[in-house]
Amino acid sequence: MQVRICLLLLFISSCNYTVIKEEMRPFKVSEALLNSVSFNQVKIEVFNNKCISCHGNSGNVNLESHRAAYQHLENIRRSTLIKKTMPKSPYPALNRRELEVLSAWIEAGGPDKPLNGSDEPEIEDEAIQPTYASIKKNVIDMKCISCHRPGGEADRIPLNTREDLLDPTYEIVVPHDPDFSGLMIVIEPGARKFMPPTDSGISPVTEEEKNAIRTWIENGAL
Ligand code: HEC
Ligand code: HEC
């Protein structure tokens, strides 16, 4: 009798244990990834897409550099893998690949360079360029599109394509004339309708990004 209860307890507790382990580790991370993952990879595949616009250099939780992000390793684990409170709306949840890379990095102990000592390919963060493709990727898709897309809360003013931006109805982009372009006006502090809205939690357009947008419009918004 005693033995049976014991076995039963053992069974229940091992069951629980598995459940918790599974929860912490949403799926199996390969040894190869565990050994090769680096901060740079996490930054480019996860943080830049889903976190940086709210956790850049300015805030409490800074995910720009290894030194800064590493201090928050435990909180990053809790908020992304356990409680899943991050990323926050309007950003969509982490996809499978992002979860895999982030889980591997956290399980590896948050290393800067790969544990296996391999030379990681230098993946440089691409600086913003005064081109439509770069502005779309770095600003519009990151800071605007979640609301300004079909079905979004500001779908009245779509910002999906270059044609949307150049549509004369709204004067979002007036080629050669940045000061009359809605896109420039709304991103300046003090704008009547400041974008992205302050209460969205999305970080403002940076000076570097503004300069690229201004140059692109001055050059004819091609
Ligand atoms: C839309 C904005 C936004 C995005 C995107 C976002 N966060 Fe946050 N995050 C916040 C805000 C605001 C707080 C502080 C208030 C709070 O805890 O709700 C916060 C708090 C945190 C904290 C500290 C508090 C805690 O919960 O432990 C961590 C760690 C964190 N975020 C990590 C991340 C990571 C990692 C991502 C990307 C996968 C991410 N966040 C994406 C807005 C955001
Ligand atoms: C969190 C949602 C949200 C985000 C993110 C957002 N907007 Fe908006 N935007 C709105 C809403 C809501 C309106 C008002 C729509 C209306 O009047 O129907 C608006 C209005 C505008 C307008 C028209 C302003 C006017 O004077 O009527 C422009 C231009 C604009 N947004 C550009 C942007 C740009 C550029 C970004 C990114 C840098 C951005 N928005 C990010 C919600 C958002």
Report the pLDDT averaged over residues 89-111.
91
Asked whether residue 123 carries a pLDDT value surpassing 90, the answer given is no
pTM, to two decimals: 0.55
- Provide the pLDDT for residue 35: 94
Ligand nearest to the CA of 194: 2
Report the pLDDT averaged over residues 191-208.
92
Q: Report the residue among 141, 148, 181, 205 best suited for mutation to probe ligand 2: largest number of ligand atoms under 8 A from its CB.
A: 148
Whole-number Å distance between alpha carbons of 36 and 52: 23
In this structure, the residue with its CA closest to atom 2 of ligand 2 is 147
DSSP state of 221: -
Confidence of residue 188 (pLDDT cuts 50, 70, 90): very high
The number of angstroms, rounded, from the C-alpha of 170 to the middle of its chain's C-alpha atoms is 29
Whole-number Å distance between alpha carbons of 157 and 166: 12
**Amino acid letter at 175?**
P
Considering Cα of 153, then 155, then 161, then 162, what sign does the dihedral take? negative
- Provide the pLDDT for residue 58: 65
| Non-local CB neighbours of 214 within 8 Å, separated by 6+ positions | 178, 184
Ligand nearest to the CA of 49: 1
Q: Report the residue among 43, 70, 79, 102 best suited for mutation to probe ligand 1: largest number of ligand atoms under 8 A from its CB.
A: 79
Whether the CB-CB separation of 215 and 130 falls below 8 Å is answered with yes
Whole-number Å distance between alpha carbons of 79 and 57: 19
- Provide the pLDDT for residue 17: 43
| Non-local CB neighbours of 154 within 8 Å, separated by 6+ positions | 147, 148
> What is the Å distance from ligand 2's center to 163 Cα?
17
Q: What is the largest CA-CA distance in the chain?
A: 87
Report the pLDDT averaged over residues 74-100.
91
> What is the Å distance from ligand 1's center to 88 Cα?
6
Mean pLDDT score of the chain: 85
- Provide the pLDDT for residue 79: 96
pLDDT 10s digits, 17-69:
444 444 455 567 899 999 999 999 999 889 988 888 788 776 789 998 999 99
> What is the Å distance from ligand 2's center to 127 Cα?
25
Q: Cβ of 1: how many Cβ atoms within 10 Å?
A: 5
